[in-house]
Structure 1
């Protein structure tokens, strides 16, 4: 279940949305216009929230969580409780009922440069977000937080600062890529699930990028082309760490590093160096 997505709004398919401010966070107009529905969402105590900035591993983590819930068997179509709810909302916009019910949340954070590149390609493909424009234009808007879902910096810092106030497991995309078994075991422990060794190995395999890229339940190939044209770019494109090196110019990298230091230099949140 995706918290801030309304698939019944079919008129979305005929135009790219405009961005509107939602409590100072740039968001697609279809989210803002239907905000009361999201804001008033009633969470249940055993709901599990997965939150990421867009294109930072939310689909990947949902697959891992689903597989853990089903002991390595792919999730059946009809979701039973506990519900797994995915969102790209920053911490301040999450419906209060999640915290009133003391729900658990898993956060996946991806380094800013790869997030930028992946989000640019997603904008090229998905008609639920505005046109990205040229790479150099999107690059600047991303740094300034003027893209759909707002500032990457505010998003990751907000969730990081909340991790000691709520039942939050904060994970890094790069760590999952480096050692999926280790991170899957962290998720299982957080979910209070004990897994047999053969189940762990099955989950590692089924949640690998190679397998998920060919899984219609994960690769979004069942989504109509008027919503997501994957002839332009696959939803599951590369899943790599460091792909930004194929996009950033030397000058852009220098500008980004300088801006990043101003935004993140005083935060205790540290991403591994992607140089």
Structure 2
């Protein structure tokens, strides 16, 4: 590997190229949170806002510890649900702390900083000028994970949507534990559409039909979707990786709790499993102020006029069909069929 002479860091190994100028301008019109443009990374062309270019080597050189616990996924695949499940089991069911501290603090988002464009951040700071506390929070969530995580001395819990190929090599080298969760793209698409409308850092303003066009062409952050999931699937046999499907979590939450507890070398009795199952049930979860990102709404990072961060949590339901046109259903089915031909991964019914 090549090294940078000034810092002794490993060079980021992949090319980063700008999105085609015409497509970029179209994207900037529809995704108003980004102000500069978008890039694609490596041979699989993983899609990110412009800030990824300057942050890439810092992410790549981050030193993960053997004790670190990562939750990784493609967005809107049950990430927040999995984070709380993992954190609760690893912290011996500390309901008091879980209630007292928001999940964004207990389980920080490794690469969120690349979505906080300087101009968007400037606008948010201006809107929160009446409150030093809120301005401080905006500064906090804009800080790169590679800057603040090294200062945490206790066990670290880290959320990421980076695919395995873009994770810091130290994660696998040091055998940090990773829980990877995947979800059927029919449900992901709808949930991700609403998230892009909810977060002003994304600021999507066009239609669902147009959003599907971007999604199908892998022109949305952390895409391509299939490359992301296939990389996770390929690592499922690593002893430090637990690969799960959101559909299985939804169908059998007690079984999922037992599986995660075993992976984390924890033992829970039946009463503890029953209590945790109730705590994590979707009906309770979406009203849990510690996990539904109220703090993001308070500083106007989340658009108050859009749907909540934790939505329906359904699987294979008629819910997603409400947004789908017959044309999109047909294209989605074909898209899934073509991409599943290249893998033995199958989504649970």
TM-score above 0.5, yes or no: yes
Tell me, in whole angstroms, the C-alpha distance in 1 between the residues paired with 2:203 and 2:57: 22
What is the SS of the residue equivalent to 1:158?
helix
Contact 1:71 1:199 in 2 (8 A): no
Contact 1:72 1:200 in 2 (8 A): no
Alpha-carbon shift at residue 254 of structure 1 (Å): 1.2
**Residues 70-89 of structure 1 aligned to structure 2 (within 5 Å):** 70-74=91-95, 75=97, 77=101, 81-89=154-162
Aligned to 2:71: 50
- Following superposition, which runs of at least 4 residues in structure 1 exceed 3 angstroms of deviation? 30-33, 75-81
Tell me, in whole angstroms, the C-alpha distance in 1 between the residues paired with 2:330 and 2:56: 38
The question of 1:67 aligning with 2:80 is answered: no
Aligned to 1:135: 208
Tell me, in whole angstroms, the C-alpha distance in 2 between the residues paired with 1:205 and 1:192: 22
Of residues 165, 175, 183, the one that matches 2:256 is 183
Alpha-carbon shift at residue 130 of structure 1 (Å): 5.0
**Residues 252-267 of structure 1 aligned to structure 2 (within 5 Å):** 252-267=328-343
Aligned to 2:236: 163
TM-score by length of 2: 0.70
Alpha-carbon shift at residue 84 of structure 1 (Å): 1.5
Aligned to 1:100: 173
Larger Rg: 2
Describe the superposition over 1:177-212 as per-residue Cα deviations: whole angstroms up to 9, x where unpaired: 111000111000000000122211121111122222
Which 10-residue stretch deviates more, 180-189 or 134-143? 134-143
Instruction: Return 5+ residue gaps in structure 2 as ranges.
Output: 1-31, 107-152
Describe the superposition over 1:254-275 as per-residue Cα deviations: whole angstroms up to 9, x where unpaired: 11111211111231100134xx
Tell me, in whole angstroms, the C-alpha distance in 1 between the residues paired with 2:61 and 2:300: 30
Alpha-carbon shift at residue 249 of structure 1 (Å): 1.7
Alpha-carbon shift at residue 244 of structure 1 (Å): 1.4
Aligned to 2:118: none
What is the SS of the residue equivalent to 2:82?
helix
Of residues 273, 292, 295, the one that matches 1:222 is 295
Tell me, in whole angstroms, the C-alpha distance in 1 between the residues paired with 2:233 and 2:169: 18
Alpha-carbon shift at residue 225 of structure 1 (Å): 4.7
Aligned to 2:322: 246
Tell me, in whole angstroms, the C-alpha distance in 1 between the residues paired with 2:167 and 2:289: 29
Contact 2:198 2:302 in 1 (8 A): yes
Name the count of aligned residue pairs: 259
Tell me, in whole angstroms, the C-alpha distance in 1 between the residues paired with 2:227 and 2:85: 26
Aligned to 1:148: 221
Alpha-carbon shift at residue 87 of structure 1 (Å): 0.4
What is the SS of the residue equivalent to 1:107?
strand
**Residues 20-31 of structure 1 aligned to structure 2 (within 5 Å):** 20-23=39-42, 24-31=45-52
What is the SS of the residue equivalent to 2:348?
coil
Tell me, in whole angstroms, the C-alpha distance in 2 between the residues paired with 1:165 and 1:68: 21
Instruction: Return 5+ residue gaps in structure 1 as ranges.
Output: 1-14
TM-score by length of 1: 0.88
What is the SS of the residue equivalent to 1:46?
coil
What is the SS of the residue equivalent to 2:295?
coil
Question: Which of the pair is proportionally richer in helix?
Answer: 2
Compute the RMSD of aligned alpha carbons: 1.8
What is the SS of the residue equivalent to 2:294?
coil
